[in-house]
Chains A and B, each alone.
Chain A
Amino acid sequence: MADMHENNTGTLNLKPVHERIRKKSADPSRVMIHVENLHKSYHDLEVLKGVSADVVKGEVVVIIGPSGSGKSTFLRCLNGLEEITCGNVIIDGQNIADKSVNINKARENIGMVFQHFNLFANMNVMRNLTLAPVDLKKATKAEAEARARQLLERVGLLDKADVYPNQLSGGQKQRIAIARALCMNPDIMLFDEPTSALDPEMIGEVLAVMKDLAVEGITMVIVTHEMGFAMEVADRVLFMDGGYIIEEGTPEEIFRSPKHPRTIDFLEKVLGI
């Protein structure tokens, strides 16, 4: 074990417990996401077998785990993209497992970034960003475009406003996708393996944008395989396997002294030790 930590530090370039960045809008007393005994099945296959978790305002939670562990499914339950089989998912006081809750309204406050970007192929970048705010009457066209330009500048792609998605690189697409989600001014951002479909040299630019958001204090739930990023940015890491949250803790706790054998086994594999 001691050996592993040595190596661990080497591969991940871990600093000693660093000073956490002060977040502007963090509020630990306000629970943004409250998940209670969440179950999700596809026909006979149970993917989530009773998951409970809380995320407070401004917190950055990273979910790690092997493929098929249910982490993406869990994330997709948080905005109702997956129908919830049983349990409660309370987002900022609203139980989205309840069929009477207007899921479209709830989603306006939850941005999502996908592994495969999913930019609207029939629209240019500007339209991608302004579609939802304008269509949902959150802003006039002019307001939405002004906001979109602001966000494009923030992700460093202002010059791409008139371009169609097929003319962008993967990293650019994902930065645009992040900007698109931010256009609705959500309190919560969900990231579903945002760098997994990227060429290695483009991962950094996307992580930089995400780090920027974390500093700002947006509540973030991130499914990722980027352990270095998790170490640096996460307030809390959840390790999922077999449809359960097996272990959770600060990045230091999870990466330096994992307790559960499956966590140890997983980290050994992904860190290539």
Chain B
Amino acid sequence: MRDILTNYEPFFLQALGQTLLLSLLGLFFGCILGIIFGLMSVVKNRILNAVALVYVNLIRGVPMIVLAFFIYIGVPYALNQYLHAGITLSSLAAGTLCLSLNCGAYMAEIIRAGIQSIDPGQMEAARSLGLSWWRSMYRVVFPQAIRNMIPSIVNQFIITLKDTSILSVIGFPELVNKAQNVIAITFKSFEVWTIVAVMYLVVILILQRVAKLLERRLNRGRYA
């Protein structure tokens, strides 16, 4: 174990860096998509509701590995074959897109449920004072909903971080992908997978710790 660590330390750290980079990109765009589609599912507009519903169900109904192959290989192939577009997609771009779409769908559901968990009377009271729907959402409903959402959002962050491992299949050089390379050279699969598991574990424990602190801070001295 020790010789693998000493020989391949920079290698693992770089792979971890790639995992974190992809996670952050996926989470960032996933949150944006989640907010957009989450709001689309609660506004009073049937068309937007339907669009959000289709997006969420489509993503939830397709395994991420299939989505990854579809985006990385299927879509460029179709564009090049039928439209002669001459497109190549980097594994980072495809991975980010895939992870964002996936994370976004689940975030949209978390945000929808969070907003719907707030008593409709809060929105009504704000509207009755003359505030628009958006202002009422922004000032009154969303700030309350976000508190309820935090545990689910943290959970989704963790899942998204772990989901990056799936993107090893499209050749993105993250932890799992690199670990396979190391095994191919050293044949030490037990040691390598142990190291990889511990690295994921440590990152996720740190994330959880930070989330707890954040949650406590948000709740300090405020309403129950």
Contacts and interface: CB of A to CB of B under 8 A. Distances in A.
Interface string A120-161: 111100000001100110000000000000000000000000
B86 interface: no
A152 B121 CA distance: 22
A28 B139 CA distance: 39
B131 A114 contact: no
6 contacts: A118-B125, A131-B131, A131-B140, A135-B135, A165-B223, A181-B128
A269 interface: no
B20 interface: no
Nearest to A127: B139
A136 B129 CA distance: 9
Contact of A107 (B119, B121, B128): B128
Interface string B125-155: 1111111100100011001100000000000
Nearest to B143: A122
Interface in B50-93: none
Nearest to B142: A122
B116 to A, nearest CB: 16
B125 A107 contact: no
Nearest to B118: A121
10 closest A-B pairs (Cβ-Cβ)? A118-B125, A108-B130, A132-B129, A118-B121, A112-B128, A107-B130, A164-B223, A122-B143, A166-B223, A122-B144
A104 B126 contact: no
B223 A122 contact: yes
A111 interface: yes
B15 to A, nearest CB: 42
Contact of A81 (B127, B140, B144, B224): B127
Nearest to A132: B129
Contact of A111 (B128, B140, B143, B224): B128
Given A112-B128, A166-B223, 17 more contacts: A81-B127, A104-B127, A105-B130, A107-B127, A107-B128, A111-B128, A114-B125, A118-B122, A120-B126, A120-B139, A120-B140, A123-B140, A131-B126, A132-B126, A135-B139, A165-B223, A180-B129
Nearest to B129: A132
Contact of B121 (A79, A114, A184): A114
Query: Most chain-B CB neighbours within 10 Å: which of A81, A119, A121?
Result: A121
A104 B131 contact: yes
A127 to B, nearest CB: 9
A165 B223 CA distance: 8
B122 to A, nearest CB: 6
A164 B222 contact: yes
Contacts of B130: 104-105, 107-108, 132, 136, 184
Given A107-B130, A108-B130, A131 B124 contact: no
A48 B124 CA distance: 20
A166 B144 CA distance: 13
Contacts of B126: 120, 131-132
B222 A107 contact: no
A165 B125 CA distance: 14
A120 B118 CA distance: 11
B129 A118 contact: no
Given A107-B130, A114-B121, A114-B124, A131 B223 contact: no
Interface string A88-125: 00000000000000001101101110101011111100
Given A121-B122, A121-B223, A131-B139, A104 B128 contact: no
A184 B129 contact: yes
Contacts of B224: 166
B128 A79 contact: yes
Contact of A119 (B125, B128, B139, B143): B125
Contacts of A181: 128-129
B121 to A, nearest CB: 4
Interface string B98-114: 00000000000000000
